[in-house]
Amino acid sequence: MALFGAIEAGGTKFVCAVGTGPEDLRARMVFPTSTPGETIRQVVEFLGEAARHEPLAAVGIASFGPVDVKPDSPRFGYITSTPKAGWQNVDLAGEIRRALDLPVAFDTDVNAAALGERRWGAAQGLQTFVYLTVGPGIGGGALVAGRLMHGVLHPEMGHMRISHNRQADPFPGVCPFHGDCWEGLASGPAIAARWGCKGECLPIDHPAWPLEAHYLALGVTNLVCVLAPQRIILGGGVMRRSGLFRLIRHKTLELLNNYIQVGEIIERVDEYVVPAQLGDNAGVLGAIALALDATKAEPERQKT
């Protein structure tokens, strides 16, 4: 089994690991995101040292964005217009490829996490599904007919516009670009700004949660209508609130209002809107899945 390097590149931290899958994640290292030069140097040092013990077949990068993921673009592998200071127009994939002299697979953190969930987690056996993370922001990745969705860009699901009744909820939203887009209304920072305290300190019977479930269900309903996914997988810190899945499923069915008559949704919604399974390792496992797919390696066999 070939060994891979994995990089989860986040706006606040980078997580690096080497391994072949969830049962085999060897050295793992986390460090805060500083300047591009310093951060990339740390990544290269860590993976270079790992490769001296056992050669790596490829490196996968699951990156915050927006990023350029068009393989024929001269700026493929760049972080482009991110609001993260100092990280605009950084050739992340190119610098790592040149420094390690290894093939590099590159995609958004959420597209990578979707691949990881298909290989090892909640989307095994599916061809068309959506992976969402609800935390410091809202991000979504999707596979359609077995392929990651790419067009002129990667999807930016967190910035879809959803209906917002300002009489019922006058909160203007936190997105610096749109105010009350999906992320602006329903991310972790939106909950904290609206209620003056983080989600963790709001009990499940607090009005914050039916409102949160309403907004999340609006986005989920839009995704059902646009992509007809076989499943919708939700991860991220906000989704750890117990009881939230139940509210979202209920509100999604209410919003669809029996228009879409498929058993997978109306009879088995508990298996349709489901939690992510890869937890804190979603990023690095997604990066390994990217590298595996890029090198056309066989999927890891489950150990018995």
Residue closer to Zn ion, measured from CB, 94 or 189: 189
Measured from the CB of residue 160, what is the shortest distance to Zn ion in angstroms?
A: 9
Q: What are phi and psi of 21, to 5 degrees?
A: 170, -175
Smaller CB separation from Zn ion, 134 or 175: 175
Nearer to Zn ion, 163 or 261 (CB): 163
Closest residue by Cα to residue 271 from 140, 111, 123, 141: 123
**Least distance from Zn ion to the Cβ atom of residue 138, Å:** 9
Residues whose CB is less than 8 angstroms from the CB of residue 7 and which lie 6 or more positions away in sequence, other chains included = 14, 15, 16, 43, 47, 59, 60, 61, 62, 63, 96, 284, 287
Q: Which of 131, 128, 92 lies closest to 230 in space, CA to CA?
A: 128
Residue nearer to Zn ion on the CB measure, 181 or 186: 181
Question: CA torsion 218→224→225→228, rounded to 10°?
Answer: 170
Least CB distance to Zn ion at residue 190 (A): 11
**Which CB atom, from 22 or from 236, has the smaller least distance to Zn ion?**
236
Q: Which residue spans within the chain are E strands per DSSP? A: 4-9, 13-21, 24-32, 58-63, 104-108, 129-134, 138-144, 147-148, 232-235, 273-275
Query: What is the nearest approach in angstroms of Zn ion to the Cβ of residue 183?
Result: 5
Shortest Å, Cβ 178 to Zn ion: 4
Work out how close the CB of 155 gets to Zn ion at its nearest, in angstroms, rounded to a whole number: 13
- Per-position b or e across 37-76, b if 16+ CB within 10 A of its CB: eebbebbbebbeebbeeeebbbbbbbbbbbbbbeeeeeee
Half-sphere exposure of 45 (CA within 13 A, CB side): 9
By beta-carbon proximity to Zn ion, the closer residue of 130 and 175 is: 175
Chain residues that interact with Zn ion, rule: CB under 5 A: 159, 175, 177-178, 181
Shortest distance (Å) from residue 131 CB to Zn ion: 19
Quote the CA–CA distance of 49 and 45 in Å, as a whole number.
6
Query: Cα–Cα distance between 149 and 141 in angstroms, integer?
Result: 7
Q: Token pair for residue 201?
A: 């300190």
